[in-house]
Amino acid sequence: MNGFLKKRAKGQFYTKANPFKHRAFKAWTDKAGLPKTVVLEPFAGANSLITHLKDMGLCHRFKSFDIKPAHVEVKKQDTLKKFPTGYKVCITNPPWLPVIQLPACLWISLSAIIKIFMLLLWKNA
């Protein structure tokens, strides 16, 4: 199986570019309480999203998990089987698997960011 098919089967597509520079996300950070709250990253992989937030000064405390950690600050845990609880903010790029059910928490995924951008563009047009 080639590299792409392995990634696709496991849903492992790590985020490399910083998706958080848009003004819509920055407005959301105030409502979410960033950087004062602990951010949950349940599908962290290489912890790229947390790194981007830290680089922007938007994240000082976090908990990152992944079934196959690719960063020293990511704890090994299968969060599809045992999802971490007790967090107000969850920012993630979830694995692209057929069915994912996440518990209710304040979270934002890359697809949600895209929807926010589109809504703002439509509203401001």
**Per-residue pLDDT at 29:** 87
**Comparing C-alpha atoms, which of 8, 60, 12 is closest to residue 39?**
60
- To which H or E segment does residue 109 belong? strand 106-109
Multiple choice CATH, 3-123, 1.20.1630, 3.40.190, 3.40.50, 2.30.30: 3.40.50
Q: pLDDT tens, 19-32?
A: 788 888 888 888 88
Beta bridge partners of 75: 65
Q: pLDDT tens, 73-91?
A: 999 999 989 999 999 999 9
Tell me the whole-structure pTM to 2 decimals: 0.68
| Conformation bin of residue 45: beta by default, left when phi > 0, alpha when psi is -120 to 50 | left
**Per-residue pLDDT at 44:** 94
The token pair at 8 is: 């696709």
**Per-residue pLDDT at 105:** 53
Stretches where the chain sits below pLDDT 70 are 1-16, 96-125
**Per-residue pLDDT at 28:** 87
Contacts 24+ apart (CB under 8 A), 22-25: 22/113, 22/116, 22/117, 23/120, 24/113, 24/116, 24/117, 24/120, 25/108, 25/113, 25/116
Provide the residue ranges of all domains of the chain, joining segments of one domain with +. Answer: 3-123
Whole-Å CA distances, 67 to 44, 93, 107: 9, 14, 19
